[in-house]
């Protein structure tokens, strides 16, 4: 039986006015978000989010056969939370050749996701060339490349405007920007964890410009470190505001922080926090079509449960993931298509293979 046919009782009566708004398709406020986050009625919140998810997508759960490529881990930003970045002199620093990049790809891949470090010895043309090489070898393969942080770096490196940088990449074959580098939209957190990285205003401006050029993008939120619930909600509301203007975001991806060796928190987020964050984002981001349950950061079990708590996409059968595994994520480094489909079945959903722009395959 679908949630549409089921009357359910909310244990936490404070949720009743929010449920009324959700049923009437009314927008939730910051204060509503706080009531949701502070409520212990996890199942009630999950059922409301499931109601919205089912209205948008029925029982479908999307996935894409995806390859991540990280051409180098050398990065001049040494963000405190990041276990992936290296100095050039580090013994495990690497730079991939064109051949190595191309060798990661195969015809069954439906989306390639390129995220690099900020490597000063490469020119902007070197970064563009990576896109060229991929596009020439696999012309039909949609390319999602370079976060707003990298776009800003290229603009400084090449002394070009963000618009020109993005247009150049678009001509080379980029159709979408990944959602990384957003972390959490808070000047307070930025000062402590990533002082040298672009802040939320620039991140949003770059996505705004991309959307104006017809480049779609995703949005992430890194949670479970030192941020407050209020900061998480402000992050969601700022994204919602830009989406109202451009409708350029494809999906929202909450990223559960993997503590690794960064020394910021001892413990990984709880399953309760993960499911609540998926559900709250589904309820707050009424103008986002898709909420991703990123199994690499949530693990397989919570990722399957997230599909009943508002998520409708389990991201990719990522062929190889490096960034979170550098922070000792316990999920496998890759998941085959069959395993991903069985994870979706376990949640009682119907797997739907998609391409980057959510066309059914
Ligand atoms: O920007 C870094 C985050 C992001 C850790 O657009 C960490 O489809 C958890 O953006 N624990 C990169 N997270 C990944 C990313 C992404 C992933 C999947 C899909 C898409 C998409 C984008 O990973 C970084 C940063 O916010 N990150 N270190 C960590 N220890």
Q: Give 8 Cα–ligand 1 centroid separation in angstroms.
A: 35
pTM for the model: 0.96
CA 323 to ligand 1 centroid distance, Å: 7
Task: Determine which residue's CA is closest to atom 8 belonging to ligand 1.
Answer: 178
Cα-flanking dihedrals φ and ψ of residue 182, to 5°? -80, -30
What is the predicted pLDDT for the residue at 309? Answer: 98
**55-353 is a CATH 3.20.20.70 domain:** yes
Of ligand 1's listed atoms, the one at least distance from the Cα of 294 is 18
Q: Write down the pLDDT at residue 261.
A: 87
Expressed in angstroms and rounded, the spacing between residue 94 Cα and the centre of ligand 1 is 19
Pairing of strands 66-69, 60-64: unpaired
How far is Cα 34 from Cα 55, in angstroms, rounded to an integer?
24
**Token digits for 55?**
């209205």
Domain boundaries, the chain: 55-353
Best residue among 193, 255, 277, 311 to mutate for probing ligand 1, ranked by most atoms within 8 Å of CB: 255
Q: Which two tokens stand for residue 353?
A: 């293979």
Substitution candidate for ligand 1 out of 207, 323, 335, 358 with most atoms within 8 A of CB: 323
**CB neighbours of residue 62 within 10 Å:** 25
| Residue 1: predicted pLDDT | 43
Distance 254 CA to ligand 1 centre (A): 9
**pLDDT tens readout for residues 86-122:** 999 999 999 999 999 999 998 889 999 999 999 999 9
| Ranges of the chain with pLDDT below 50 | 1-2
Provide the Cα torsion 120, 127, 143, 61; round to 10°: -10
* CA 358–ligand 1 middle distance (angstroms): 20
Task: For ligand 1, say whether the CB of 179 is within 6 Å of any of its atoms.
Answer: yes
Expressed in angstroms and rounded, the spacing between residue 2 Cα and the centre of ligand 1 is 33
SS3 of the chain: CCHHHCCCCCCCHHHHHHHHHHHCCCCCCHHHHHHHHHCCCHHHHHHHHHHHHHHHHCCEEEEECEEEECCECECCCCCCCCCCCECCCCCCCCECCHHHHHHCCCCCCCEEEECCCCCCCCCHHHHHHHHHHHHHHCCCCCEEECCHHHHHHHHHHCCCCHHHHHHHHHHHCEEEECCCCCCCCCHHHHHHHCCCCCCHHHHHHHHHHHHHCCCEEEEEEEECCCCCHHHHHHHHHHHHHHHHHHCCEEEEEEEECCCCCCCCCCCCCCHHHHHHHHHHHHHHCCCCCEEECCHHHHCHHHHHHHCCCCCCEEEECCCCCCHHHHCCCCCCCCCCHHHHHHHHHHCCCEEEEECCCCCEC
**pLDDT tens per residue across span 287-317:** 999 999 999 999 999 999 999 999 999 987 6
CA of 223 relative to ligand 1 center, distance in Å = 11
Mean pLDDT over each residue of the chain, to the nearest integer: 94
- The pLDDT > 70 percentage for the chain reads 96
Closest CA to 220 of 189, 257, 263: 257
Indicate which atom in ligand 1 lies nearest the CA of residue 219: 6
């Amino acid at each position: 039986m679908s949630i549409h046919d089921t009357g359910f009782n909310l244990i936490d009566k404070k949720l009743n006015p929010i449920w009324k708004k959700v049923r009437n398709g009314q927008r939730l406020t910051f204060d509503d978000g706080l009531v949701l986050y502070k409520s212990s009625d996890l199942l009630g919140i999950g059922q409301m989010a499931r109601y919205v998810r089912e209205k948008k997508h029925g029982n479908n759960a999307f996935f894409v056969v995806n390859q991540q490529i990280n051409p180098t881990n050398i990065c001049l930003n040494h963000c405190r939370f990041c276990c992936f970045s290296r100095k050039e002199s580090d013994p495990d620093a690497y730079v991939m050749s064109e051949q190595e990049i191309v060798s990661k790809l195969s015809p069954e891949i439906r989306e390639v996701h390129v995220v690099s470090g900020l490597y000063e010895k490469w020119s902007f043309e070197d970064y563009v060339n990576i896109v060229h090489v991929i596009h020439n070898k696999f012309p039909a393969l949609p390319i999602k490349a370079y976060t707003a942080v990298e776009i800003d770096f290229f603009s400084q490196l090449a002394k070009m405007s963000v618009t020109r940088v993005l247009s150049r990449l678009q001509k080379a074959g980029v159709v979408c920007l990944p959602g990384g580098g957003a972390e959490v939209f808070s000047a307070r957190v930025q000062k402590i964890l990533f002082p040298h990285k672009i802040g939320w205003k620039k991140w949003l401006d770059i996505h705004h410009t991309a959307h104006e050029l017809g480049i779609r993008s995703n949005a992430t939120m890194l949670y479970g470190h030192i941020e407050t619930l209020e900061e998480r909600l402000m992050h969601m509301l700022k994204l919602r505001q830009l989406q109202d203007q451009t409708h350029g975001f494809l999906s929202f991806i909450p990223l559960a922080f993997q503590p690794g060796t960064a020394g910021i928190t001892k413990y990984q987020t709880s399953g309760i926090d993960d499911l609540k964050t998926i559900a709250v984002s589904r309820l707050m981001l009424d103008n986002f079509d898709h909420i991703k349950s990123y199994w690499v950061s949530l693990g397989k079990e919570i990722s399957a449960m997230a599909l009943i708590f508002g998520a409708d996409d389990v991201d990719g059968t990522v062929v190889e993931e490096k960034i979170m595994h550098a922070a000792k994520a316990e999920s496998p480094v890759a998941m085959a298509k069959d395993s991903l489909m069985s994870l979706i079945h376990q949640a009682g959903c119907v797997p739907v293979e998609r391409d980057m722009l959510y066309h059914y395959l």
